[in-house]
A and B are shown apart, each in its own frame.
Chain A
Amino acid sequence: MQLSNSLPKSEVINTRRRQTSASERREWLLFALLVGPNLFLFGLFTYWPLIYNTYLSFVRWDMLAPVKIWVGLGNYRFLFASPGFAKILSNTVVFTFASVLLTCALGLLIALLLNQPLAGRNAARSIVFSPVMLSGAAIGIVWIYIFDPRYGLLDIFIRFVGLRSPNWLLDTNWAMPAVIIVYVWKNVGYAVVIYLAGLQAIPRELYEAALVDGASAWARFRRVTIPGLSPVIFFLVLTTILAGFQTFDVIKVMTDGGPVDATTTLIYYLYQEGFVGFNAGRAGVAGVVLFVAMLAFTIVQMRYTERNVNYA
């Protein structure tokens, strides 16, 4: 930029600074205008409830009484000390990570499959994606049927292989796998679709170069496909973890957190204490723990990606 020789140097610098801060401030204003309403609504309808919920975790209140009794960490102590809570936490972790793992792994497998030049591929992709559009409640009802060990769909296949069906939803060992299966069934289509496009974006030349180098199919997969897919994998893992933590409708319809507490996750516990037991304090604690857990996982994951994801 040419400086005018007629102006004293300081004046010129001042003019420049004033210009950038004026336009910068205009940008700030525009930013605020564009993002403001969105954030404002979040503040009102998401963050305010979060704060209120955190406050509630410190009181004893049945949601009707005019007075909320402050109990400090009483609710936290109660929950962390109770033996049932450890089971709830382990259920939550098991459910979330099993479903994330299965969804992402199976999704990849199916995507690799549907990436091949097969006839009817588009129709297949639609069908695979269709469970995503159905409501969790309707799916739960159908799957209760399917799991029935006497006449369910699944039983037919299990008998075909010569095995006996466990009493899925009434067996404390099998209820969690059942719920996981339903959840994965519902959401794998979403992963497949994302992987598919991710696969298509990997440059062909990389594969051909690897072939020239004499790499085997497995080596090509490991050296080209996986790194090429890493942004996709990161995005999927993050979104499915967050979704997994908050999965409620499938559990409510299929097992009601049971049998006993075999499928009671943190979110189900929140519902039970808040919406059925009307114990605002304990529901509050569940909400806080859930939020903190998800935040922690997200931060950890974001740190991890900075090191391991290859952006093209």
Chain B
Amino acid sequence: MKNVQLTRRQMLKGFGAGMGLIALAACAPVAPGAAPAASGDSAAAPSTEKVTAVFWSSFTGKNSETETELVKRFNEGQEDVALDYQFQGTYEETAQKVTAALQAGTAPDFTLLSDVWWFKFYLNQTLLPLDDLLTAENVDLADYQDSLINEGLRQGQHWWMPFARSTPLFYYNKEKWAAAGLPDRGPETWDEFMEWAPKLVEMDGTEVKTSAFAHPDGASYIAWLFQGVAWQFGGSYSDPDFTMHLADEKTVAAGQFYKDSVHTYNWARPSKDITADFVGGFTAASMMSTGAMGGVKTNATFDFGTAFLPKKEQFGCCTGGAGLAILSTSAEETRAGAMKYIAFASSPEQTTFWAKNTGYMPVRKSALESQEMQDYFTEFPQFKTATDQLALTKPQDSARVFVPNGDQIIGKGLERITVQSEDVATVFAEVQTILDEEAIPVVEALQAVEG
């Protein structure tokens, strides 16, 4: 009978599922991350000397292809270490997974961590101080870009090595510049840009078709881009000891400038995706990450230029991106191997390769002088501007990178003045109060760790 057949089929399905699951469990792949290098060792049993180091990273798309190539070169170039390289999500997700893995005892040996995440792991003493390993590998620390390497320096030791670093950069649409009769360069100062901006605004009736400038939203790191501007105006987010300066007169003045650009002078607009807007010709200029350069080059139908960030009282530009750190939970045998890779990936040759293929900044001074890089500059002069600016950059303020959620807290405040049009002094004062409060546990923890 049909009914009976159906039920038999369902029964069989049920049993089959059960059997299948048992079989599956029996031959499930041995999780490489399930235990530290010890299991990795046994999995790589054939060569008793070779150590496996587990490496987590956050790159997708083309960047990931480049990193895969780096790992491949490394693995093939020596016999001591085999890297098990895995993508874990965005910078944020990678940090979440490392946290969860640390709790569960399944953390990787070393990992990529972005500028706002590495400090948290340092504070909880889950990172390894790298100097002994650096010396053992004969790494030339002086050859690293100062601002980049100093950002990972605490208590005289290095905890976080630069790898995929970026900075803000001023991008401008050469066609629109020419149409407005402006010289083919970026503005020297914001005051100069104030003169230029009204000429760049294109109206479509009463609507603004093209703005002169665009601000991203909080989720797209407006707090990162504004940091440099605050410095340019003589202000800052905070001191290294967490004294907050957001509500200071000069920082407020910078904020006022941002607000006015949107609401008073009407030559700037908040935007959901500044890169898309720039490429689409909706904004004549914008500050964006150096990392956006590749995409802009591919997708823009016009010639674009790059320039240093404009000055106000002075020049100011921060660093960004991600670096590599070794976890203190890693096994002894894997640490040297991990350091080998870190040294390799940030070596002059490889950092050049990385920079050329991803748009991140080369982290070595000597890399800039290499013939390969010089040739690349002729091909891609916009990139040279970025590397020239690199020497002038400074590490970021503690409020953004060391206070939990600091970037978002400041970002929301900036949204309040650019998207809405609240009073800058009030908003910054409120944000500063929040930052002060959120910094308290960090200061306490820091005292416990550093004394």
Assess A/B contact in the complex (Cβ within 8 A). yes
Contacts A258-B218, A259-B217, A278-B404 given; does A65 touch B124 at CB 8 Å: yes
A277 touches B126 (CB 8 A): no
Cβ contacts A158-202/B at 8 Å (1 or 0 each):
000000100101111000000000000000000000000000000
A278 touches B218 (CB 8 A): no
Binds A, one of B173-181, B334-342, B411-419: B411-419
Bound CA–CA A298/B217 (angstroms): 37
B412 touches A278 (CB 8 A): no
B217 touches A276 (CB 8 A): no
Bound CA–CA A258/B223 (angstroms): 14
Bound CA–CA A144/B219 (angstroms): 14
B-side interface size class: 20 to 34
A62 touches B404 (CB 8 A): yes
Cβ contacts A131-165/B at 8 Å (1 or 0 each):
00000000000001000101000000000000010
B272 touches A170 (CB 8 A): yes
A172 touches B420 (CB 8 A): yes
Cβ contacts B316-339/A at 8 Å (1 or 0 each):
000000000000000000000000
Q: Contacts of B420 on A, CB cut-off 8 Å?
A: 172, 259-260
| From A144, A260, A276, A278, contact of B272 by CB (8 A) | A144
B412 touches A258 (CB 8 A): yes
| From B96, B209, B217, B445, contact of A275 by CB (8 A) | B96
Q: Contacts of A261 on B, CB cut-off 8 Å?
A: 412
Q: Does B86 contact A (CB under 8 A)?
A: no
A276 touches B124 (CB 8 A): no
Contacts A258-B218, A261-B412, A278-B99 given; does A64 touch B124 at CB 8 Å: yes
Q: Contacts of A260 on B, CB cut-off 8 Å?
A: 218, 412, 415-416, 419-420
Cβ contacts A77-91/B at 8 Å (1 or 0 each):
000000000000000
Q: In the complex, how many residues of chain A place their beta carbon closer than 8 angstroms to a beta carbon of chain B? A: 26
Bound CA–CA A63/B209 (angstroms): 47
Question: How many residue pairs at the A-B interface have CB separations less than 8 Å?
Answer: 70
Cβ contacts A245-281/B at 8 Å (1 or 0 each):
0000000000010111100000000001101111100
15 contacts between A and B (CB under 8 A): A64-B124, A64-B126, A65-B124, A144-B273, A167-B270, A170-B271, A256-B217, A258-B218, A258-B415, A259-B270, A259-B420, A260-B412, A260-B416, A276-B408, A278-B120
Which residues from chain B sit less than 8 Å from chain A, CB to CB?
Answer: 92, 96, 99, 102-103, 120-121, 124, 126, 207, 209, 217-219, 270-273, 282, 404-405, 408, 412, 415-416, 419-420, 441, 445
**A150-B209, A258-B219, A272-B405 known; 12 other A-B pairs, CB under 8 Å?**
A60-B441, A64-B102, A64-B121, A64-B124, A144-B273, A148-B272, A170-B419, A258-B217, A258-B419, A275-B96, A277-B408, A279-B404
